[in-house]
Amino acid sequence: MSHLLPLRQQPLRKKSDDEDYQLLPYKLLVELFERNVIGSGLWPKLARFNHSCLPNCQFIIINRLCFLSVLKPIET
């Protein structure tokens, strides 16, 4: 993984005190091959959901919000 270079770290801030998501101290941006920049983030509460090799749900990130989308019926 020598081609992955940390680009910068920046603090994530909430827009207001009444927002209902957990504030994380840093978001890490990674530069791939000097052109493509990807962002990674941590959502501790969402990490509890299915993360198997054959997942039944996926995460969709829009701006600062992360949504859980179902891919197939989930048994109870």
What pLDDT score was predicted for residue 66?
72
| pTM of the model as a whole | 0.35
Q: What share of the chain is helix, strand, coil (3-state, %, to 5)?
A: 5, 40, 55
What pLDDT score was predicted for residue 53?
75
For the stretch 10-65, pLDDT in tens is 444 445 555 544 444 444 444 445 555 455 555 566 666 666 777 777 777 777 67
* Domain around 22: 1-42
What pLDDT score was predicted for residue 59?
75
Residue 62 and residue 76 in one domain: yes
Residue 27 and residue 50 in one domain: no
Residue 11 and residue 35 in one domain: yes
Residue 34 and residue 49 in one domain: no
